[in-house]
Amino acid sequence: MQPRSRRLPRILLAVTLWAALVAGTCVAGVAVSMRDSYPGPARAAPSQGWPVAREAGKGRIEVAVVVGASGSVTTDVLGPYEVFARSSRFFVYTVSARRQPVPLSGGLRVLPDRTPDEVVGERAPDVVVVPAVVDPEGEREAPLRSWISRQAAGGARILGVCAGSRLVAASGLLRGRAATSHWGVVGSLRRDYPDTRWVRGLRYVEDGPIVTTAGVTSGMVGALRLVEELAGAAEARRVGGELGYPGWSLDASAAIPAQEAAPEDLPYALNAAFPWFASVVGVGLNPGVGEIDVAAAFEVYAGGSFAARAVALAGASTGSGAGTPADAPAGATAGASAGSGADTAGGTAGGAAVVTTRHGVVLVAEPADSAAGDVGRLVVPGVADAREVDPRLARWAGGRGLTVELPHAGRGGGESGFDPVLRDLAAHTDLATARATAKYNEYPVEHLTLTGPAWSWRPTLQLLLTAVAAALLAGAAVRPMRRRGVSAR
């Protein structure tokens, strides 16, 4: 038997190797999850080019929703967009450094309406919505930082959503002000921007012309606050009533639980670190779909949970946005123009598929007929009746033996677009993941009845297998050292 002084270094080395192997696997897994969440370049543009941006509405309050070149959080963009767009008092458009498809979390892409230079030649926006972006302080977002700062100097109201407060701070707009952000990043923001008073436990913080919000879905509440201030309490009450955000009212307190990292968050981390063999969910985009319904699908199934990999699918490549007009009434149905099954603008094979949402956001998707064969589910958000589903999507699903699933068909009266999708996540994944997803999206779920498996076993088993494999490899690596030690004696 070897002396303890000789065994200890080998034990420490084995433990170090084991930890490095496990950590390296987790880092690699997170990299895969982020790659899947923020997809690469889109297919080539349709032969007729990308759709032409809509003209600004005269006499309306203009809202510019920033979309980061490095990628943005889906709900941070689409949530406030729909809140403002549901009111005819506002004209809403998206802005990014270049007019080419940019990624949104969860596997979606959006085609911005304008570039900062194009906005300079028009009337300046009255409100600028700033979402969380992947690289807020990096070079790729420098044009947006400069543009946001100029708009604020010109009198625009700023709405910083979730970790978008970092982009607002990096634009130099939060010095000496109070602000909030997603509960998971407030600590780092306090360290990096100590000249701002960072607040926890509030849905939004308003300091002068700048409103910042807590995590993800809180952006909808922040947007409703600005609707109230700019369009009146009656209009905010109407829009808020249509959206059905849990617990919201004009008189409701802005106070929310001050969240902290906790053991129940583990499914979120496990899903992000161990994405292998996760299911692939095809999210079918129906022309005229509501923006928040789309956001709920990509956020809950993928971007805000990492429980699955989501793929945006559309019936075919189309050269211009199909669906209801950009400024259609709020009550327009998601399937309003899907019934014919024809490409409204004559698509071309090999190009990207383009779908326009209810209020004019141009989404870029994969044509369903070219989708990878590993899609295990097809869900079509924002549709209550199977007859409203784009027939091309239905035919594609039928040819592959997939059932077209409609999570919003079970939406109850007064429910938001997130409620049915969270129920569906719990049923198809597990309760722990659904609750962790709601927490990371700062979405209330006390009113929901969630049913499904209790725990997320796929990534848990992958963690255990990784730990065992790492132990075996670490042991094998130090075994020759033991033999050399024996031989030396």
Burial 299-322 (b: 16+ CB within 10 A, else e): bbbbbbbbbbbbbbbbbbbbbbbb
Residues 75 and 171 in one domain: yes
Residues 171 and 278 in one domain: no
476 class by beta-carbon count within 10 Å (0-12 exposed, 13-18 middle, 19+ buried): exposed
Is residue 48 a part of any domain in this protein? no
| Domain containing residue 106: CATH number | 3.40.50.880
d(CA 396, CA 404): 10
Residues 223 and 328 in one domain: no
Is residue 23 a part of any domain in this protein? no
d(CA 167, CA 257): 24
Is residue 219 a part of any domain in this protein? yes
d(CA 375, CA 473): 34
Q: Which domain holds residue 159?
A: 61-243
Paired tokens of 235: 């209009």
**Residues 130 and 168 sit within 8 Å (Cβ to Cβ):** yes
pLDDT at 7: 79
**Residues 279 and 32 sit within 8 Å (Cβ to Cβ):** no
pLDDT at 485: 52
Is residue 470 a part of any domain in this protein? no
Residues 216 and 300 in one domain: no
Identity of residue 396: W
Residues 160 and 292 in one domain: no
Is residue 355 a part of any domain in this protein? yes
- Residue 117's contacts (CB-CB under 8 Å, 6 or more residues apart) are none
Residues of the chain under the 50 pLDDT cut: 318-349, 486-488
Residues 200 and 290 in one domain: no
Residues 211 and 98 in one domain: yes
- Catalogue the E-assigned strands of 144-238: 157-160, 178-179, 197-198, 204-207, 210-213
Residues 158 and 301 in one domain: no
d(CA 423, CA 445): 10
- The number of domains in the chain is 2
d(CA 178, CA 197): 5
The pTM is what?
Answer: 0.92
**Residues 304 and 297 sit within 8 Å (Cβ to Cβ):** no
Burial 351-389 (b: 16+ CB within 10 A, else e): bbbbbbbbbbbbbbbbbbeebeeebebbbbbbbeeeebb
Q: Nearest to residue 303, comparing CAs of 453, 421, 402, 219?
A: 421
| Domain containing residue 307: CATH number | 3.40.50
Residues 361 and 296 in one domain: yes
**Residues 388 and 338 sit within 8 Å (Cβ to Cβ):** yes
**Residues 152 and 209 sit within 8 Å (Cβ to Cβ):** yes
Q: What angle is formed at CA 78 by the lines to CA 236 and CA 156, rounded to 5 degrees?
A: 65
Q: Find residue 202's DSSP bridge partners.
A: 255
Is residue 249 a part of any domain in this protein? no
pLDDT at 57: 77
Is residue 47 a part of any domain in this protein? no
Look at residue 459 and give its three-state secondary structure.
helix
Residues 269 and 355 in one domain: yes
d(CA 453, CA 430): 5
- Residue 3's contacts (CB-CB under 8 Å, 6 or more residues apart) are none
Residues 70 and 201 in one domain: yes
Is residue 103 a part of any domain in this protein? yes
471 class by beta-carbon count within 10 Å (0-12 exposed, 13-18 middle, 19+ buried): middle
Residues 179 and 68 in one domain: yes
pLDDT tens readout for residues 104-143: 999 999 999 999 999 876 689 999 999 999 999 999 999 9
Identity of residue 419: D
